[in-house]
Amino acid sequence: MGEEEPQCNTDLRLGIGGRDAEKPPIDFRFLFPSLTGRAAAQRQKGGGGTRKKLKLSKEQTTLLEETFEKHSALNGAQKRELAEKLSLRQRQVEVWFQNRRARTKLKKTEMEFWMLKRSCDGLARENWRLKNELQGLRMARSFGLLPKGETETTTVCEYCKQAATVAGSLDSNESEDKSTFNSEMVM
């Protein structure tokens, strides 16, 4: 374990003329010097300099928001006119509108997610309640408290407030229960 593994040779070389060539391969190290320390860090950063983020004044933001409420997308003339009013470049106005549309879409998606999650949780609770009710009915029948054969049960869905009449067997191997939903909403 005290042995060090040999380093891989990552030099780029080109051998011309096949295996039996008398000339040594061409060495390209001078064209591609390895980056170390500070030079590598600058290259990863993107050239050493980062662009400063645009900071809008309250007046600029207010005007952009008011314009967005009227029109969520602008044509070229509207962008140019708004950019002149705000002392910005047309591209900055365009990017602001793109970002604002993206934020609006994200908020809408988040709201839809939470509404669907709440709905799903309600349906899961209702499903759990109905399973428990069915299990109770099966137990009651197995102890002789309910007649064997066809049974009819009316329940009210807590989620949609519809009354449902279920006619069928309480056996778990019975594949077809006949369910009818009343169109009346129960309050």
Q: 113-152, pLDDT tens digit by residue?
A: 999 999 999 999 999 999 999 999 888 888 888 776 655 6
Q: Which residues does 54 contact at the CB level (< 8 Å), separation at least 6? A: 88, 92
At a CB cut-off of 8 Å and minimum separation 6, what does 58 contact? none
112-141 b/e (C-beta count within 10 Å ≥ 16 → b): eeeeeeeeeeeeeeeeeebeeebeebeeeb
Give the 3-state secondary structure of residue 94.
Answer: helix
What is the predicted pLDDT for the residue at 166? 64
CB atoms within 10 A of CB 64: 19
Confidence class of residue 176 from pLDDT cuts 50, 70 and 90? Answer: very low
Looking at residue 187, its pLDDT comes to 43
What pLDDT band is residue 25 in, cutting at 50, 70 and 90? low
Give start-end residues of each CATH 1.10.10.60 domain in the chain: 58-146
Cα–Cα distance measured from residue 49 to residue 47, given in angstroms and rounded to the nearest whole number: 6
The CATH architecture annotation of domain 58-146 reads Orthogonal Bundle (1.10)
Which residues sit opposite 26 in a β-bridge? 14
For the stretch 39-82, pLDDT in tens is: 555 655 655 556 777 789 999 999 999 999 999 999 999 999 99
Decide if pLDDT at 103 tops 90. Answer: yes
Q: How many CB atoms lie within 10 A of CB 69?
A: 8
pLDDT value of position 175: 46
Above pLDDT 70, what percent of the chain?
Answer: 57
User: φ and ψ at 166, to 5 degrees?
Assistant: -110, 120
Instruction: Give the pTM.
Output: 0.48
